[in-house]
């Protein structure tokens, strides 16, 4: 089913030049099960940030049958609008959804879980040439098996190559030491194979899966928390790590969105990542909390002291709709700045800036709390769990309520290569583990 959204998504206020060209991208339709054992549909937003309507088509490559049996859909997205698909495939169908999108179209995918007032959104990977794993590369899915009330329910292997893939799956501990083999499996060309028993990982002591395939590939696991009913995804990592607890909500029953694992490495071809944060319906929020990890990369030689975007977090437009605009500035200007302009007139904002030196290769945890009820914004940079820089400044949401439209929020990471100075791209910077809570 498809619904057209009526919100404006224009980003012209950012001063963008021509955005990235789009190619075929792939969304895994895995249908993980919820706490009642029911399969969860994959939902999509296809957003048009351009000035004219643009075409797209989808093609479901079903299971191991790959291109032998496909189902296609073609349509257009109106200018400055988005198309919402509440089901990427019919109930019971799984596989690899190929999306051929025209320029200026952005694809986001997720599944929704929860019960009662509690809503969880788990972002699915949109697989491109940039984030697929090379043939022969080794990757790790960390924190599989049983971890507290969370258990692995499913493992999916995706072959993005032109020939059948042989994939080796081993179970290793948090230090990468071999524990046992989970087997060698064959995955048909350009297809996805699901393993509901997670190749023996379900219910086992928390460990990591070490995976390699002889074709370009991607790997993904689904987990279910029996206590909170949250369904989440485990995405590839460069190294084995000890299991970590999922982030706990900071207040009761918020709307929660998680894009787990590394979701963006800024490259010349893909310098910016845009994520849509869905909501069940328009909401009057009292607070929005967001956090993520960033590994600092090189400073842009075009202007090292320029604005390197950590996150631009907004309601679909820049003016009067920005919750957070956090930038890192390099040598000659070493500082960090966070600004907001919610419900303010043009050319007005509140902000915090402070001296800070980002070191290449180091991981920083960034957090932001927009509290409309108390009219305050709290910003922090953490390392090793310790606050190393932070501050507080004014929030300006009218009537102490932050209205969130039915189309949710938008988060942008990085800048395009040719934006007007002082905004510069942050090639080589890596972003991971985006967590959002919307309280109402």
Question: What does the alpha-carbon distance between residue 75 and residue 58 come to, in Å, rounded to a whole number?
Answer: 9
Question: What does the alpha-carbon distance between residue 55 and residue 145 come to, in Å, rounded to a whole number?
Answer: 42
pLDDT above 70 covers a percentage of the chain that reads 92
146 compared with 165, residue with greater pLDDT: 165
Judging by DSSP bridges, how do beta strands 423-424 and 150-159 pair with one another?
A: unpaired
Domains 2-116 and 138-234 share a fold: yes
Q: Is the pLDDT of residue 17 over 50?
A: no
Per the omega criterion (within 30 degrees of 0), is the bond before 422 cis? yes
Question: In the block, which residue shows the tokens 């075409």?
Answer: 55
Judging by DSSP bridges, how do beta strands 255-265 and 118-123 pair with one another?
A: parallel
Give the residue-averaged pLDDT of 383-400. 97
Question: What does the alpha-carbon distance between residue 438 and residue 255 come to, in Å, rounded to a whole number?
Answer: 5
Helix (H, G, I), strand (E, B) or coil at 242: coil
Helix (H, G, I), strand (E, B) or coil at 97: strand
Question: What does the alpha-carbon distance between residue 147 and residue 204 come to, in Å, rounded to a whole number?
Answer: 9
Instruction: Say which CATH topology domain 2-116 has.
Output: Hypothetical Protein Tm1070; Chain: A (2.60.290)
Confidence of residue 19 (pLDDT cuts 50, 70, 90): very low
Q: Is the pLDDT of residue 341 over 50?
A: yes
Question: What does the alpha-carbon distance between residue 105 and residue 102 come to, in Å, rounded to a whole number?
Answer: 6
**May I ask the CATH architecture of the domain 255-439?**
Sandwich (2.60)
pLDDT tens by residue, 242-284 = 877 777 777 788 999 999 999 999 999 899 999 999 999 999 9
Which segment of 92-96, 161-165, 329-333, 339-343 scores lowest on mean pLDDT? 92-96
Contact yes or no for 375/275 (Cβ under 8 A): no
Question: What does the alpha-carbon distance between residue 355 and residue 118 come to, in Å, rounded to a whole number?
Answer: 39
Please report, for the chain, the start and end positions of each structural domain, with discontinuous segments joined by +. Answer: 2-116, 138-234, 255-439
206 compared with 99, residue with greater pLDDT: 99
Task: Give pTM, 2 decimals.
Answer: 0.92
**Right CATH for 138-234 from 2.60.40.10, 2.60.290.11, 3.20.20.10, 3.40.50.1100:** 2.60.290.11
């Amino acid at each position: 089913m498809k619904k057209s959204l009526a919100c404006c998504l224009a980003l012209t206020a950012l001063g963008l030049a021509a955005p990235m060209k789009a190619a075929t991208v792939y969304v895994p339709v895995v249908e993980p099960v919820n706490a009642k054992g029911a399969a969860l549909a994959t939902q999509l937003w296809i957003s048009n940030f351009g000035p004219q309507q643009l075409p797209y088509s989808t093609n479901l490559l079903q299971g191991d049958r790959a291109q032998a049996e496909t189902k296609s859909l073609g349509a257009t997205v109106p200018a400055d609008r988005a198309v919402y698909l509440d089901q990427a495939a019919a109930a019971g169908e799984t596989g690899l959804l190929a999306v051929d999108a025209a320029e200026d179209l952005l694809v986001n995918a997720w599944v929704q879980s929860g019960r009662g007032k509690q809503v969880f959104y788990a972002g699915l990977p949109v697989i491109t040439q940039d984030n697929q794993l090379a043939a022969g590369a080794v990757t790790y899915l960390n924190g599989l098996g049983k971890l507290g009330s969370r258990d692995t329910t499913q493992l999916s292997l995706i072959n993005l190559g032109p020939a059948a893939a042989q994939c080796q799956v081993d179970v290793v501990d948090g230090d990468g030491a071999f524990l046992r083999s989970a087997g060698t499996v064959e995955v048909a060309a350009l297809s996805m194979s699901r393993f509901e028993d997670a190749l023996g990982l379900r219910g086992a002591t928390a460990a990591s899966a070490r995976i390699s395939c002889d074709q370009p590939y991607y790997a993904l696991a689904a987990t279910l928390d029996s206590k909170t009913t949250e369904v989440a995804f485990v995405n590839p990592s460069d190294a084995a790590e000890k299991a970590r607890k999922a982030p706990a909500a900071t207040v009761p029953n918020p709307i929660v969105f998680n894009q787990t694992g590394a979701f963006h490495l800024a490259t010349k071809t893909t310098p910016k990542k845009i994520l849509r944060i869905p909501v069940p319906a328009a909401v009057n929020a009292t607070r929005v909390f967001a956090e993520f990890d960033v590994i600092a990369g090189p400073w842009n030689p075009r202007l090292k002291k320029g604005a390197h975007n950590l996150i631009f977090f907004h309601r679909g437009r820049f003016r009067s709709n920005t919750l957070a605009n956090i930038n890192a500035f390099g040598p000659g200007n070493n500082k960090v700045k966070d600004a907001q302009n919610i419900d303010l007139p043009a050319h007005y904002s509140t902000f915090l800036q402070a001296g800070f030196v980002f070191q290449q290769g180091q991981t920083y945890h960034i957090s932001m709390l927009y509290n409309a009820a108390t009219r305050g914004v709290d910003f922090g940079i953490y390392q090793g769990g310790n606050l190393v820089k932070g501050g507080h400044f004014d929030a300006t949401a009218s009537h102490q309520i932050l209205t969130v439209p039915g189309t949710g929020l938008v988060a942008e990471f990085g800048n395009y290569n040719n934006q007007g100075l002082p905004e510069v791209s942050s090639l080589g910077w890596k972003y991971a583990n985006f967590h959002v809570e919307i309280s109402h």
